[in-house]
């Protein structure tokens, strides 16, 4: 007798199709407008091409595979030789190849022209919506370039490898490679962000000491990102009482032997799992001093300023990715006889999320303009304006604090739109949520950023005054902004101890005022008004709004805001 198929238990309906085959650039009205506004429209065609490629099922599959097949450490060869080798899934290398071919590791430096930083930031934002772990080594390579450019002899040897647009995954001496990646090694067990407690020692290996001299390093790094890079910039002391110096430590020594950098283990991280982060020990490892002796922290801070900008962009990218997934879901999922997107309360949530994402996007693109201005001033020998210096030096750490913090809450809210399906690893929302905390921690946690904002304000009051004066020009358009600026100036006028205790509130005030001003200048009027009325804590007409998303006043057209955010 023929076996009979079991009876069907149910028909699969009301499940949302995957979001794919959409153009990440062209569907983002805020980003496309910002690219033109910030002088990067010459790169718009490349961004549109890349945006289409990143929305394909094939590209989306790379992100899922790289986070499913994690990197592995092989400490020894089968014969017992120390090799400290890492193995990645092919999807990881394909992601790095996509990033590299778009020039996101070097664009403003190998293509120095107006708007180059804005062009690069927009491209980085697109790739950040696809996968976060692959951004880490690319960011550090990008941020190392301005530091290494100041070492002419060293830079001449590696410039072609740094600028190359081909990803070379081979683990070999640099002379045998087509391109290279550069990582960082700053923190140690006993100090974390307090790098001035570092104990790693560097001993001169030749008679030439100081800048450009060869050294041997003994010590450890608690977070070494990412250990497969071809070189790292690390901090060490030349003697016990010396201030920290910066060293370029290659993966292979000049004689072609593997440098004595022992990878102890890889970190088992909450998120960013496709990328390897390790703990290492230096056992007489070869290095070259970069920058002046005892000036390691100021030297590497130049690198950190660029990585902090990328933290802002990376968090904004997570927000954008979560937002479009939430809107797509709401447009297809039916609950209580209506699509979610047609239900007023859900529209309020989505509109509120849309405003937050829009504000983050215009903010990082404005920061890109300030970094562009810095590069232009360096090329021409002109002075950087007070206003642009304020955006770069004061607003970058403030933005890193606030946008990275908001991404945590944002991705959780977007996951909730998906309901239970958002909480399982088969979909994208769980990965976005796990990725969200890293940018708040990396390159200085929240308190470190806020204290850096305070230092910048105190060291450069002229830039701070230029910033607030510029914003005052828009205060007549909304009473909420005028009151917020008054509160900000009152905080700035408090005693030093009071300012430090209120540093988080101060950073928040700075960013919210900045975002409100930028939206007033660039966004549809009701977007700017809704943001100012809520984020600036206005209590106009008896409307009080808290931090929970979905509390926009009914006076605003929630559906129109959502449609503007993702009209695809």
3-state SS record for 243-290: CCEEEEEECECCCCCECCEEEEEECCCCCCCCCCEEEEEEEEEEEEEE
- Nearest-angstrom CA–CA distance, 48 and 59: 15
Matching CATH number, 299-565, of 3.30.70.260, 1.20.140.10, 3.40.1210.10, 3.30.70.270: 1.20.140.10
Query: What pLDDT, on the 0 to 100 scale, is given for residue 1?
Result: 61
Q: What letter would DSSP give residue 167?
A: -
Q: Which two tokens stand for residue 494?
A: 């408090």
- Nearest-angstrom CA–CA distance, 309 and 307: 5
Query: Is 495 exposed, middle or buried (CB count within 10 Å of its CB: 0-12, 13-18, 19+)?
Result: exposed
- Cα 145 to the chain's mean position, in Å? 17
Q: Is residue 289 a contact partner of residue 210, using CB atoms and an 8 Å limit?
A: yes
Q: What letter would DSSP give residue 14?
A: S
Q: Where exactly are the structural domains of the chain? A: 29-163, 174-294, 299-565
Residue 452, helix vs strand vs coil: helix
Measure Cα distances from 451 to 7, 379, 467, 504 in Å.
65, 31, 18, 8
Query: Is 230 exposed, middle or buried (CB count within 10 Å of its CB: 0-12, 13-18, 19+)?
Result: buried
Please list the residues that pair with 263 across neighbouring strands.
Answer: 280
Query: What pLDDT, on the 0 to 100 scale, is given for residue 537?
Result: 66
Answer yes or no: pTM beyond 0.85.
yes
- Nearest-angstrom CA–CA distance, 499 and 412: 31
Query: What pLDDT, on the 0 to 100 scale, is given for residue 327?
Result: 98
Count helices and strands (H / E) in the chain.
21, 11
What are the start-end ranges of the E strands in 107-197? 182-185
Query: What pLDDT, on the 0 to 100 scale, is given for residue 568?
Result: 72
Question: Judging by DSSP bridges, how do beta strands 182-185 and 214-225 pair with one another?
Answer: antiparallel
**What is the tens place of the pLDDT at every residue in 221-262?**
999 989 999 999 999 999 999 999 999 999 999 999 999 999
- Nearest-angstrom CA–CA distance, 228 and 558: 47
Q: Is residue 236 a contact partner of residue 202, using CB atoms and an 8 Å limit?
A: yes
Residue 86, helix vs strand vs coil: strand
Residues 6+ apart with CB under 8 A from 257: none
Alpha helices in 419-557 (DSSP H): 429-435, 438-441, 446-459, 461-472, 479-492, 496-501, 503-522, 525-535
- Nearest-angstrom CA–CA distance, 310 and 308: 5
Q: Which two tokens stand for residue 1?
A: 């007798």
- Cα 338 to the chain's mean position, in Å? 37
Q: Is residue 497 a contact partner of residue 440, using CB atoms and an 8 Å limit?
A: no
Residue 223, helix vs strand vs coil: strand
Secondary structure element (H or E) that encloses residue 313, with its range: helix 296-332
Rounded to 10°, the helix 29-37/44-54 angle is 160
Matching CATH number, 174-294, of 2.60.40.10, 3.30.1330.20, 3.50.50.60, 2.40.110.20: 2.40.110.20
User: CA nearest 414: which of 362, 478, 354, 470?
Assistant: 354
User: CA nearest 166: which of 94, 112, 232, 253?
Assistant: 94
Taking 70 as the pLDDT cut, the residues of the chain under it are 1, 537-547
- Nearest-angstrom CA–CA distance, 146 and 97: 22
């Amino acid at each position: 007798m023929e076996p009979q198929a079991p009876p069907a238990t149910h028909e699969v309906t009301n499940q949302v199709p995957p979001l794919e085959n959409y153009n990440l650039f062209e569907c983002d009205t805020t980003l496309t407008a910002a690219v033109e506004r910030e002088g990067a429209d010459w790169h718009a065609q490349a961004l549109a091409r890349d945006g289409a490629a990143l929305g394909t099922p094939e590209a989306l599959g790379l992100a899922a595979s790289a986070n499913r097949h994690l990197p592995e450490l092989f400490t020894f060869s089968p014969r017992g030789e120390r090799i400290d080798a890492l193995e990645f899934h092919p999807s990881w290398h394909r992601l790095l190849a996509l990033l590299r071919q778009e020039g996101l590791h070097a664009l403003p430096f190998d293509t120095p022209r107006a708007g180059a930083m804005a062009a690069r930031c927009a491209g980085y934002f697109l790739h950040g919506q696809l996968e976060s772990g692959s951004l880490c080594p690319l960011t550090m390579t990008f941020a190392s370039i301005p530091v290494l450019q100041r070492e002419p002899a060293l830079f001449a040897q590696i410039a072609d490898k740094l600028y190359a647009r081909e990803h070379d995954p081979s683990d070999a001496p640099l002379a045998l490679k087509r391109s290279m990646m550069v990582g960082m090694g700053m923190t140690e067990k006993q100090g974390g962000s307090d790098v001035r407690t570092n104990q790693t020692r560097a001993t001169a290996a030749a008679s030439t000491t100081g800048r450009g001299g060869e050294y041997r390093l003994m010590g450890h790094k608690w977070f070494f990102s990412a250990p497969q890079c071809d070189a790292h910039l690390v901090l060490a002391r030349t003697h016990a009482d010396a201030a920290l110096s910066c060293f370029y430590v290659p993966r292979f020594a000049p004689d072609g032997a593997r440098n004595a950098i022992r990878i102890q283990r890889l970190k088992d991280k909450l998120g960013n799992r496709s990328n390897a982060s390790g703990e290492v020990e230096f056992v007489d490892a070869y290095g070259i001093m970069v920058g002046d002796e005892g000036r390691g922290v100021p030297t590497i801070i130049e690198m950190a300023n660029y990585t902090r900008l990328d933290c802002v962009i990376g968090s904004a990218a997570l927000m954008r990715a979560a937002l479009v997934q939430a809107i797509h879901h709401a447009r297809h999922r039916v609950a209580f006889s209506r699509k979610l997107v047609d239900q007023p309360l859900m529209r309020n949530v989505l509109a509120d999320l849309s405003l937050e994402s829009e504000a983050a996007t215009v903010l990082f693109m404005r920061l890109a303009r300030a970094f562009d201005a810095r590069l232009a001033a360096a090329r021409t020998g002109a002075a950087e304006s007070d206003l642009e210096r304020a955006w770069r030096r004061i607003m970058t750490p403030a933005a890193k604090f606030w946008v990275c913090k908001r991404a945590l809450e944002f991705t959780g809210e977007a996951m909730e739109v998906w309901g239970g399906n958002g909480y399982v690893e088969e979909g994208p929302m769980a990965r976005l949520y796990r990725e969200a905390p890293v940018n708040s921690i990396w390159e200085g946690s929240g308190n470190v950023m806020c204290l850096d904002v305070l230092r910048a304000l105190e060291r450069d009051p002229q830039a701070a005054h230029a910033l607030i004066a510029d914003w005052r020009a828009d205060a007549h358009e909304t009473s909420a902004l005028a009151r917020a600026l008054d509160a900000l100036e009152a905080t700035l006028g408090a005693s030093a101890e009071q300012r430090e205790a209120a540093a988080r509130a101060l950073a928040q005030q700075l960013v919210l005022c900045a975002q409100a001003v930028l939206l007033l200048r660039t966004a549809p009027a009701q977007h700017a008004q809704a943001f100012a009325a809520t984020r600036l804590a206005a209590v106009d007409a008896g409307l009080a709004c808290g931090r929970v998303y979905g509390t926009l006043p009914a006076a605003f057209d929630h559906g129109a805001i959502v449609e503007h955010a993702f009209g695809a």
